[in-house]
Amino acid sequence: NTVSVVGLGYIGLPTAAVIASRKKKVIGIDVNQHAVDTINGGRIHIVEPELDMLVHAAVKERYLRATTVPEPADVFLIAVPTPFKTDPEEVSFEPDLSYIEAACKSIAPVLKKGDLVILESTSPVGTTEKMARWLSKERSDLSFPQTQGENSDIRIAYCPERVLPGHIIRELIENDRIIGGLTKQCSLAASSFYKLFVNGECIVSDARTAEMAKLTENSFRDVNIAFANELSLICDKFDIDVSQLIRLANRHPRVNILKPGPGVGGHCIAVDPWFIISEAPDESKLIKAAREVNKNKPDWVLKKVQSVMFDLASTYGLKVTDITFGCFGLSFKPNIDDLRESPAYYVVSELSKLYPKQVVAVEPNVSKLRDESINLASIKEALGCDILIFLVDHDEFKELELPEEKKAVIDFRG
């Protein structure tokens, strides 16, 4: 049996490599010629622990091969991006399914009777049904699960990815999977496919529930982080240490509050709730409010830093243009190099625009930045600044000895 993985990004490539490591023939498809060439050379174009070794071995042993043109296979696994179309004012969001539609169009000509097509990309509810429609429209044969039920000639399922960046390979194998077939036979086919490489349980559901489950998991986390972030604003007003407060409240057997921070970053939690909100705006008021709390947090952080700066200026009789800022952390969460949608990066970048030459940033996981307006520095250099701002709880920062005479320390990560 041959497996074709469409989209060789953060999810598709690790999945292709893990399946290939089970000695299955895998054809990876991507529109990006550079990614295809890199992979065929046994190398990778993204950063993820263990992935380089896995891809290198799979390509060398000829189980994995990448191409830009789809070829016949028995299973097609679609893992392409589903971004959001944002209007210039950022007031409305609309899911952009064009990559899924393009993937369907590209594989339709090579599909044959008995093939299994699985969608893994995070998608609004109803997308798998749309995918089936797109596929049948492209093929002259109209037999697909919605109209033909179990008589359809191909099987279609939605099975969301749920892996944590930084631990993708382990979680791909160990996590339970939700299997959402368009029919019972579709679910059974998808379930037996995942059992090839998944040690977790494969739990059968239906396509719509599986789509909603993925959105629910990330919205749950967003809402819970928003609660912690809202508490941090309230505590600031009451002059209470929010970290200590949460530690105490969490001693209650049924309370488990997450950690506040400068905001929510990454390309999943800050985006996925919109897939629910945009389709059910009247019903998802709490999810929307939580998203707004998290989205507004970086600007609150920026204002907080400025108010500390003005206090410092008046207390020490300093000029604002003489005060220096040492910022600790740029990535969207601890111990990774990923800067996408990072609130820490946003704060440092805005601060650097306001006070050029007064801001330095330490990011132990990144050696070079594209944005030249941010000045990277060593821990030692940053510790020498007037205001120390902790934005990411990297391991390197936890054991720091702060200079005794420090004018101001602002810790947004507890």
Q: Is 231 in the site for ligand SAJ (CB under 6 A)?
A: no
Q: Is there a contact between 264 and 254 (Cβ–Cβ < 8 Å)?
A: no
Q: Is 221 in the site for ligand SAJ (CB under 6 A)?
A: yes
**Which tokens is 380 given?**
């030692």
**Nearest CB to ligand SAJ, comparing residues 37 and 174:** 174
**Which tokens is 341 given?**
């949608």
Q: Is there a contact between 395 and 336 (Cβ–Cβ < 8 Å)?
A: no
Contacts of 253-258 with CB under 8 Å at 24 or more apart are 257/224, 257/227, 257/228, 257/231, 258/221, 258/224, 258/225, 258/227, 258/228
Q: Is 364 in the site for ligand SAJ (CB under 6 A)?
A: no
Q: Is 337 in the site for ligand SAJ (CB under 6 A)?
A: no
**Nearest CB to ligand SAJ, comparing residues 144 and 275:** 275
We find the least distance from the C-beta atom of residue 169 to ligand SAJ, in angstroms, to be: 13
Q: Is 275 in the site for ligand SAJ (CB under 6 A)?
A: no
Q: Is 269 in the site for ligand SAJ (CB under 6 A)?
A: yes
**Nearest CB to ligand SAJ, comparing residues 264 and 301:** 264
* Binding-site string for ligand SAJ from residue 375 to residue 414, where x marks contact by CB under 6 A and - marks none: ----------------------------------------
Among 45, 56, 105, 259, binds ligand SAJ (CB under 6 A): 259
Active site (annotated) includes residue 304? no
Q: Is 124 in the site for ligand SAJ (CB under 6 A)?
A: no
**Nearest CB to ligand SAJ, comparing residues 277 and 385:** 277
* Backbone φ and ψ of 72, nearest 5°: -60, 145
Write a three-state SS string for 371-414: CCCCCECCHHHHHCCCEEEECCCCHHHHCCCCCCCCCEEEECCC
We find the least distance from the C-beta atom of residue 140 to ligand SAJ, in angstroms, to be: 36
We find the least distance from the C-beta atom of residue 340 to ligand SAJ, in angstroms, to be: 9
Q: Is 333 in the site for ligand SAJ (CB under 6 A)?
A: yes
State how far the Cα of 28 lies from the Cα of 109, in Å rounded to an integer: 17
Burial 288-323 (b: 16+ CB within 10 A, else e): bebbebbbebbebbbebbeebbeebbeeeeeeeeeb
Q: Is 328 in the site for ligand SAJ (CB under 6 A)?
A: no
Active site (annotated) includes residue 104? no
> Which span sits near ligand SAJ by CB under 6 A: 87-95, 196-204, 257-265, 394-402?
257-265
Work out the angle at residue 383's Cα, subtended by the Cα atoms of residues 377 and 384, and round it to the nearest 5 degrees: 95
Instruction: Single out the catalytic residue among 186, 268, 327, 385.
Output: 268
We find the least distance from the C-beta atom of residue 45 to ligand SAJ, in angstroms, to be: 18
Among candidate residues 153, 148, 162, 104, the one with its CA nearest the CA of residue 128: 104
Q: Is 74 in the site for ligand SAJ (CB under 6 A)?
A: no
List residues bridging with 4 in a β-sheet. Answer: 27, 76
Concatenate the DSSP letters of all residues of 299-361 into one string. Answer: HHHHHHHHHHHHHHHHHHT--GGG--EEEE--SSSTT----TT-HHHHHHHHHHHHSTTSEEE
Instruction: Single out the catalytic residue among 24, 104, 159, 214.
Output: 214
We find the least distance from the C-beta atom of residue 127 to ligand SAJ, in angstroms, to be: 15
List residues bridging with 3 in a β-sheet. Answer: 26, 75
**Nearest CB to ligand SAJ, comparing residues 269 and 309:** 269
Q: Is 165 in the site for ligand SAJ (CB under 6 A)?
A: yes
Catalytic residues: 214, 268
What is the binding site for ligand SAJ (CB under 6 A)?
162-165, 217-218, 221, 225, 258-259, 261, 264-266, 268-269, 332-333
